[in-house]
Amino acid sequence: MRIEINEAAEFFRQNDDYLILMHASPDGDTLGCGNALCTALQRMGKNAKAVCPDEIPHRFDYLSEGVKQQEFEYRTIVAVDVADSKLLGDMKELGDMADLCIDHHESNKDYAKRLLLREHYASACELMYEVLVALGADIDRIIANCLYTGVATDTGCFKFSNTKPQTHITAAKLMECGAEIAPINYAMFELKTQGRIKLEQEVLSNMRFYGDGHVAVVSVMLDTLAKLPDVDSDDVGAMASIPRQIDGVDIGISIKEKKQGYFKASLRSSERINVADIAGGFGGGGHARAAGCSFYCSYEDAEKQIVAAACEALKQAGII
């Protein structure tokens, strides 16, 4: 059942003992949303706990500043920024029992009893901001930091095309509420571990170009990662954006070795190429500018196949 913002606020007033579910491979949006809601509910005198199936990277520690540990038996389940209960990993069954889902993904599977969805919002945190305003919550520095984190991380700090005028307006309001944007943005966008730096070097030094320089390919192999113990999945994921940053590249490809003989390719493109179509040809999918697919073969075969498809797309677009 689709519900609206004031109905969600009423739901939070009437219920208690909340278990808040945040998605696996947690990002700033699900964590910001979950911790902001948990903090606000506890301040209303409710019991609440925000949980995530995966370990939460330490750079997000500040998001739980306002959360108290409470012992209680949950009676109400709320999923935030979770498009599909499958994205809850080990907690999928809890997701399937969710009383409410608050989300911004067009692909939301409508798995919860109630759904508050805003597909055109760049982040779930923008929607959570409106829910908390409707609840009359005091959006102080701590909650504003949580919500700002989701807004900033889901938009690449207002860089991506999902950023809307309203996204900037919400950011302005969160700053007025005390959001500490400079240290948050430093932690989210600038700070790198020494392992991450080494991984970038390794990836850059092995970049290969095809199609008159319009295709760039990088690879992340398991033996490289084995030498870099402080590299996390976030660091590896960030490699996907590197090849497309090179001047002249229309299709950036990063190929990650998942297991021996099993590779995942991430594709990024300029507005001249639809990489969802390329990935679709290998049973994958995604968006026009960011898509992915898998290969069960040798590394050489995987690269050969994806590069051939990329070059074919360049030809069809009249680029080469």
Under the binding rule (CB under 8 A), the answer on residue 68 touching its own copies is no
3-class SS of residue 101: strand
Cα–Cα distance, 220 to 207 (Å, whole number)? 11
Under the binding rule (CB under 8 A), the answer on residue 206 touching its own copies is no
Q: Is 176 exposed, middle or buried (0-12, 13-18, 19+ CB in 10 A)?
A: exposed
Q: Which of 302, 304, 270, 306 is nearest to 288 (CA)?
A: 270
Under the binding rule (CB under 8 A), the answer on residue 70 touching its own copies is no
Under the binding rule (CB under 8 A), the answer on residue 120 touching its own copies is no
Q: Give the nearest distance from C-beta 291 to its own copies in angstroms.
A: 17
Q: Give the nearest distance from C-beta 64 to its own copies in angstroms.
A: 20
Under the binding rule (CB under 8 A), the answer on residue 244 touching its own copies is yes
Q: Give the nearest distance from C-beta 213 to its own copies in angstroms.
A: 9
Under the binding rule (CB under 8 A), the answer on residue 227 touching its own copies is no
Q: For the segment 123-162, give every residue that binds its own copies (CB under 8 A).
A: 156-161
Under the binding rule (CB under 8 A), the answer on residue 169 touching its own copies is yes
CA distances in angstroms from 207 to 17, 252, 300, 301, 320, listed in the order given = 51, 10, 14, 17, 20
Phi-psi label, residue 17: left if phi above 0, alpha if psi -120 to 50, beta otherwise: left
Under the binding rule (CB under 8 A), the answer on residue 271 touching its own copies is yes
Residues 6+ apart with CB under 8 A from 259: 222
Q: Give the nearest distance from C-beta 118 to its own copies in angstroms.
A: 17
Q: Give the nearest distance from C-beta 287 to its own copies in angstroms.
A: 13
Under the binding rule (CB under 8 A), the answer on residue 166 touching its own copies is yes
Options 205, 223, 226, 300; binder of its own copies; rule CB under 8 A:
205
Under the binding rule (CB under 8 A), the answer on residue 192 touching its own copies is yes
Options 72, 133, 138, 194; binder of its own copies; rule CB under 8 A:
194
Backbone φ and ψ for 20, nearest 5 degrees, come out as -105, 125
3-class SS of residue 239: helix
Under the binding rule (CB under 8 A), the answer on residue 296 touching its own copies is no
3-class SS of residue 156: coil
Under the binding rule (CB under 8 A), the answer on residue 241 touching its own copies is yes
Q: Give, for 76, the enclosing helix (H) or strand (E).
A: strand 76-80
Cα–Cα distance, 60 to 26 (Å, whole number)? 10
Q: Which stretch binds its own copies (CB under 8 A): 48-56, 79-87, 165-173, 221-229?
A: 165-173
Q: Which residues bind its own copies (CB under 8 A)?
A: 156-161, 163-169, 171-173, 175-176, 181-183, 185-186, 189-194, 197, 200-201, 204-205, 207, 241, 244-247, 271
